[in-house]
Structure 1
């Protein structure tokens, strides 16, 4: 394994690692995203980009004894709520559950811990079901969301800021428009009944106005610090989600 000065291990990309370099019982971070519409201004792979960036930065700062590896990104998720928007590719809950379960069963043959770093809210129900089943089977697996304070639901100021920080060349700033800005709790009945298209023709839930790379950098710093802290604490709820051991909830 490559190393850096001090007590930090260099981030290791599993796809570019040869098997003799894989340390005994490493921590494996699996970025989980989606391929779905993110309004007229953000790329379809936004959730996967964010999840991978969080996983890589957590690995870069992880203690050497974690022997952290970042697995290839799972770029397809459960995105049925975005049906009707060109470019969206959803594999649905049943297929996603099968992929998650079989991936962990394989990883568990050599990994010490497995953590899914999730960038798409539509994956949450399936993640909870899959990880709950896997933990009941005895596997040391958990999941954690990529969240930050004040985040709007979809393709708004928060995600736009993060993408301006991570991949500004992929953001069509001039095409950005405001969508439905109601809180997610108010939107949920309409979203469940008719999907995103029934609520906003642009696909945006929120308002990207005012987004900046600086805000995106701060959001990333928060997410990386939070995920690192939760992995270190290694406390989960009934769904296998990493939580703050002080109160049993994710710090948001």
Structure 2
């Protein structure tokens, strides 16, 4: 029920914002500045999720292309950080005192649409669809390790996000959403599906290149005011 409720709210929000009527004689929206060219974007995408009743970290990196300041698409790689115990019973044959931990990794393609914002801040709706594998690693009392067979999983992650651009070439962001996991065979007994929360450090590689080449100042905080003012002329 929680997953279906989140999907319903997400679709209603996306439909309402995307279907806003635009009059032909209306002036351009000065609250958002469109970029003429495509540019590469790189993100450190640290995610958190409640799995088996505990908060777990999911480390991620993703890169893609942004165009017209509104659309983004690319590819991300994610892995669950260690230390999270599984809910499954220990397989027969393992000695008492064996410790087990969940492991999963996945690759996700993403698309993102920016609803509102300007050069400094924005509100967007990212959607990720991915596939990966899930298994359990066992730490035996004698120091050896074993793992279970891998199971293929598929993921869908709708979310909402906001970010603030500190300088021309770097920004920070936060967001929340829901991860729905599907399996090709037996469903995992561990609670992998659930709400997600994430924090991002975002690099604008094209603008960073200009800084490296000496065309722009590294810590210039006045560029937004100047460029937004010029864009309204």
More helix by share: 1
State TM-score, norm by structure 2: 0.28
State TM-score, norm by structure 1: 0.26
Question: Does 1 or 2 have the higher relative contact order (CA < 8 Å, sep 6+)?
Answer: 1
Q: Which has the larger radius of gyration?
A: 2
More strand by share: 2
